[in-house]
Amino acid sequence: MLGRTVHDPLGVESDARSASGLGLLPVDTTMSAEKRTVVTTARTRGGVHFTGYEIHMGSTTVEPPAEPFARGGDGHADGACVGNVIGTYLHGALEHPDR
């Protein structure tokens, strides 16, 4: 909801097939029927390593000027940051005291 739009073409979460977000991040999310939950490690742009879990139920397209919030252990980019706004699929990421 921090992004521009959330699309739910299959009606997984709602009868509404699309909704406007807050527009705080230049991202658009499209939901899918399959939910993926996995425990992972990641590293923030500032170099803080942490453990959390990812919940994905679709895909998010990130556009400039957003930068990734973190990189997963396998190197994939996660989330988006613009200024002091952060969006991420990494639950538990903000609980780390050194974040």
d(CA 36, CA 2) in angstroms, rounded, equals 21
3-state secondary structure of 94: helix
- For 50-69, what is each residue's pLDDT tens digit? 888 888 889 999 999 999 99
d(CA 66, CA 80) in angstroms, rounded, equals 6
The per-residue DSSP string of 33-63 comes to: EEEEEEEEEEEETT--EEEEEEEEEEEEEE-
49, 43 contact by CB (below 8 A): yes
- For 26-45, what is each residue's pLDDT tens digit? 999 999 999 889 999 999 88
